[in-house]
Amino acid sequence: MTKDNNRLRERALFDSLKDRKSGKVWPHHLLQAIDHAGLEQHDPRLQEVFTRLEALREQSQGVPQELGFEEFRSIISLSVLLLERAFKQELVIPDFQEFKKDVTQIFAQAKHNADGEVANYIPQLGRVNPELFGVAVCTIDGQRFKIGDADTSFCVQSSTKPMKYCLALEEHGEERVHAHIGCEPSGLSFNELTLNDKGLPHNPMINAGAIMSCSLIKSNLTMADRFDYVLDKWQAMMGGVRPGFSNPTYLSERLTADRNFALGYSMRENRAFPENCNLIETLEFYFQCCSLEVTANNMAVLAATLANGGVCPTTGVRVLQAQTVQKCLSFMYSCGMYDFSGEWAFRIGLPAKSGVSGVIMTVIPNVMGIVSWSPKLDKNGNSVRGIEFCRQLVNTFNFHNYDNIVGGLHGKKDPRVDANAVRRNLGVDLCWAASEGDLAGIKRLLISGASLDDADYDGRTALHLAAAEGQLEVVRYFLDHGIKVSPKDRWGNTPFDDAVRAGHKKVANLLQTRLEKQAGREIKQVS
């Protein structure tokens, strides 16, 4: 990007925010515009902006001062590209305020559902307030929204399984990892004492598979360094926020882990582990990773990093390879929701992973990550409110993996697109196809929702353009499909005038005949 280009961008941003009278920008208008786009004050990409604004505020002893262009530039210059996209509504959810409203409504509906029981196989989970419910969203452009108890910490439990698998894959690659872990849904409970016919865990999303992933992660390091490594990766995935650790949960998990020990011994008996694996250390490592603590708000960034192919949206750092994420999402899609996985894929159609603490991490690839947390679970061990929230989410938005299949599903919103811009583009495309005589293109555009009577800023309609270019077939098609025969553009010209002016006699005659017919009908109707 050249310096001149940059300056033009800065100028355009300044002009879009400046006060008409003073020709300057109020700092709070800049802040409002940032907030409106869904970007937040802690966003690492905007730190310079906020630091400089704060410095100015201090300088003026808290009295708001308008910003001239040079001052404005100095504040935004490091974030100009992000701000430009945000203010032009070019982030992945262009109308973030509208999206927030919808999510707020869905949250309120899901909150009504008071069914379910809190997991109580360890006292630490049993003691959590069952009424808590939080949801947080982070888009691949780092737009953030949280509601309810999204800042309360909870234990990740099984929602850590995708990360365990990703770390094993990054270190060893697919072939090595899948020499130890299968790729099929087990069709059985997540901690079922069973292995596949090769004596391996069925997949990485159930306990046996996750224990196996743990055995593969940095096995040459000390226990302390292995755990630090996992923390570092979570931190990078969450945009710099380090997860906490619940020692009581870890101790309880270890104490009540007969089934996980049994799984471990069974896998060892089947020689499923990599060579030199220390089983007890592996299990301890597994319990430690289950005992990480996060908030829905922070974990939403991790989910968004998965949605963004492994690049953290708020820092721009690549944490995982895209291929790793692609494989992980595939397992989340088919095996992420315990015994509800098949029905989840059918009804919700998104990769997700849940945990017995009541968390559900859902990934909408290339769009956003969503984390819901509410401790009451259904008989499958999934959060009741979390499931309810996701059901309503995909009823409202076209987020199900197959919603966009040819023919589409009607009645669902697509928050990814700016509805007005789509309509404008369809209108422009229709005029272009009309002037080119592209009848097949016109039919396609009409199916997509283009409207025949839409006019551009100058009042020019598709019929004007077809007439001016002598596109007889197109004009006939339009007239047969109920288009207004005689719309006037801003200079008062009708399509008939355009056809006459350009010497397209056949088109002019056709329009004239239709006009007369219409007038005759009108006269008949009047008389």
Output 36 or 259, the one with its CB closest to ligand GLU.
259
Report the residue number, 43 or 253, with the smaller CB distance to ligand GLU.
Answer: 253
Instruction: Return d(Cα 113, Cα 230) in angstroms, integer.
Output: 35
Q: Does 158 bind ligand GLU (CB under 6 A)?
A: yes
Considering beta carbons, is residue 356 or 462 the nearer one to ligand GLU? 356
Residues 223-262 that bind ligand GLU (CB under 6 A): 253, 260
Binding mask 197-216 for ligand GLU (x = CB under 6 A): ----------x---------
Interaction of residue 128 with ligand GLU, rule CB under 6 A: no
Closest approach of ligand GLU to the CB of residue 271, in Å: 22
Return the residues of window 259-288 that contact ligand GLU according to CB under 6 A: 260
Confirm or reject binding of residue 191 to ligand GLU (CB under 6 A). Answer: yes
CB of 286 to ligand GLU, least distance (A): 7
Q: Which is nearer to ligand GLU, 156 or 499 (CB)?
A: 156
**Minimum CB distance to ligand GLU, residue 260 (Å):** 5
Based on the shown chain and the rule CB under 6 A, indicate whether residue 321 belongs to the binding site for ligand GLU: no
Contacts with 84 (C-beta within 8 Å, 6 or more apart), sequence order = 9, 12, 13, 90
Contacts of residue 226, defined as CB under 8 A and 6 or more positions apart, other chains included, come to 217, 218, 219, 285
* Min dist. Cβ of residue 208 to ligand GLU (A): 10
* CA–CA distance, 404 with 99 (Å, rounded to integer): 19
Tokens encoding 358: 């009541």
Helix (H) or strand (E) holding 15: helix 3-17
Q: Provide the 10 A C-beta neighbour count for residue 169.
A: 24
- Comparing CB distances to ligand GLU, the nearer of 10 and 339 is 339
Structure tokens at 35: 């907030």
Query: Using the rule CB under 6 A, which residue among 355, 358, 369, 386 binds ligand GLU?
Result: 355
Decide whether 88 or 254 has the Cβ nearer to ligand GLU: 254
Distances (CA, A) of 500 to 344, 474, 493: 62, 17, 11
Q: Is 43 in the site for ligand GLU (CB under 6 A)?
A: no
Nearer to ligand GLU, 122 or 200 (CB): 122
Phi, psi at 461, each rounded to 5°: -105, 170
Q: Which is nearer to ligand GLU, 158 or 298 (CB)?
A: 158
Rounded to 10 degrees, the C-alpha dihedral 315/320/325/331 comes to -120
Compute the distance between CA of residue 249 and CA of residue 256 in angstroms, rounded to an integer.
11
Q: Write down the least CB distance from residue 161 to ligand GLU, Å.
A: 8
Task: Say how far residue 190 (Cα) sits from the centre of its chain.
Answer: 27
Q: Does 190 bind ligand GLU (CB under 6 A)?
A: yes
Amino acid letter at 508?
A
Q: Shortest approach of ligand GLU to residue 253 CB, angstroms?
A: 5
Identify the CA nearest to 350 among candidates 386, 314, 324: 386
Does 290 help bind ligand GLU (rule: CB under 6 A)? yes
- 16 is an interface residue for ligand GLU by CB under 6 A: no
Conformation bin of residue 358: beta by default, left when phi > 0, alpha when psi is -120 to 50: left
Task: Closer to ligand GLU by CB, 143 or 282: give it.
Answer: 282
At CA 281, angle to CA 279 and CA 286, rounded to 5?
95
215: its two tokens: 């055995």
Q: Binding residues for ligand GLU, per CB under 6 A?
A: 157-158, 190-191, 207, 253, 260, 290, 355-356
